[in-house]
Chains A and B, each alone.
Chain A
Amino acid sequence: MKKSIVLMIVGLGFSIFTGCQKTGDTWDNVKTAGRYLNRSIDALVGKDYDSQMLSAAEDFRGPNNEEFIPLMDEDLKTQFRTTDMAIAQPKYAPGEHGIPAMYQFKEPSGQLNSIFRNMHFGTDDHVIRNHEDLLMIQKISEYMKKHPNAYLSIEGHTDERASAAYNMALGTRRANHVRVLLIKNGVDFNRIYTISYGKEKPVAHGHAEDAWRENRRVQYKLYHK
Chain B
Amino acid sequence: MKKYIKFVFFIFLFSRVFSSEQLDIALSTKNPLIPIYLSKVVNNTNELNSDYLKKIYDVLFFDINNNGYFSIFPSSSSKDIVLSKEDEISFDKKYWQDQKIFYVVKLKVKKDKLFTYVFSVKNNEIKKYELTLTTDLKADRRKIHNLSDQLLLDTLKKQGIASLHILYTVRYKNPDATASKKFLSEIWMSDYDGENARQLTYKNDYCVHPIFIPTKKDECYNFLFVSYEKGQPKIFGTTLYSNKDFPVVSLRGNQLLPAISLHADKLAFISDAAGRPDLFLQKFSSKGESIGKPVQVFSAPRATQASPSFSPDGKKLTFVSDKDGSCRIYLINIDNCFSDMKRPVAYLITKKNRENVTPSWSPDGTKLAYSAKTDGIRQIWIYDFETDEEWQLTKGPKNKENPNWAPDSLHIIYNTEDKINSELYIVNINQLEPVQITNGLVQKRFPSWEMCKLQ
Contact = CB atoms under 8 A, between A and B. Distances in A.
Given A165-B257, A168-B257, A201-B183, A207 B419 contact: yes
A53 B282 CA distance: 30
Contacts of B12: 15
A132 B371 CA distance: 38
Contacts of A143: none
A67 B252 contact: yes
Interface in B40-97: none
Interface string B1-14: 01000100110110
A165 B302 contact: no
A28 B351 CA distance: 13
B177 interface: no
Contact of B304 (A14, A88, A166, A180): A166
Contact of B251 (A67, A76, A87, A193): A67
Given A195-B233, A201-B182, A88 B273 contact: yes
A4 interface: yes
Contacts of B401: 163-165
B244 interface: no
A140 to B, nearest CB: 19
A8 B9 contact: yes
A45 interface: no
Interface string B183-226: 10100000000000000000000101100000000000000000
Given A86-B274, A162-B327, A169 B256 contact: yes
Contact of A67 (B273, B324, B326): B273
Interface in A1-43: 1, 4, 8, 11-12, 14-15, 18-19, 24-25, 28-29, 31-32, 35
Interface string B223-238: 0000010111100000
A1 B3 CA distance: 11
B378 A163 contact: yes
Interface stretch (B133-141, B335-343, B382-390, B432-440): B335-343
A49 interface: no
A14 B276 contact: no
Contact of A84 (B302, B355, B417, B445): B302
A92 B234 CA distance: 14
Given A89-B252, A169-B305, A15 B13 contact: yes
Contacts of B307: 165-166, 169
Interface residues of A, number: 68
A88 B304 CA distance: 16
Please report whether the interface of chain A is mostly helix, strand, loop or mixed according to DSSP.
mixed
B275 interface: yes
B30 interface: no
B25 interface: no
B232 A102 contact: yes
B206 A173 contact: no
Nearest to B354: A28
A54 to B, nearest CB: 13
B231 A102 contact: yes
B343 A71 contact: yes
A169 B257 CA distance: 8
B148 interface: no
Contacts of A166: 304, 306-307, 320, 327, 357-358
Interface string B265-295: 0000010111111001000000000000111
A108 interface: no
Interface in B1-35: 2, 6, 9-10, 12-13, 16-17, 21
A200 B183 contact: yes
Contacts of B445: 164
Nearest to B171: A200
Interface string A68-96: 11111101101010011111111111110
A24 B354 CA distance: 9
Contacts of B252: 67, 88-93
B301 interface: yes
A24 B298 CA distance: 28
A83 to B, nearest CB: 7
B275 A95 contact: no
Contacts of B342: 71-73
A8 B13 CA distance: 9
A162 to B, nearest CB: 7
Interface of A: 1, 4, 8, 11-12, 14-15, 18-19, 24-25, 28-29, 31-32, 35, 64, 67-73, 75-76, 78, 80, 83-95, 101-103, 105, 124, 126, 153, 162-166, 168-170, 172-173, 175-176, 180, 193-196, 200-201, 207
**4 closest residue pairs by CB, A with B:** A102-B231, A86-B275, A32-B325, A89-B253
29 contacts: A8-B9, A11-B13, A15-B16, A35-B325, A68-B280, A69-B296, A71-B297, A72-B342, A73-B342, A73-B343, A83-B302, A86-B299, A90-B252, A91-B252, A95-B230, A101-B230, A102-B232, A124-B322, A163-B371, A164-B445, A165-B358, A166-B307, A166-B327, A169-B307, A172-B270, A175-B272, A176-B276, A195-B231, A201-B182
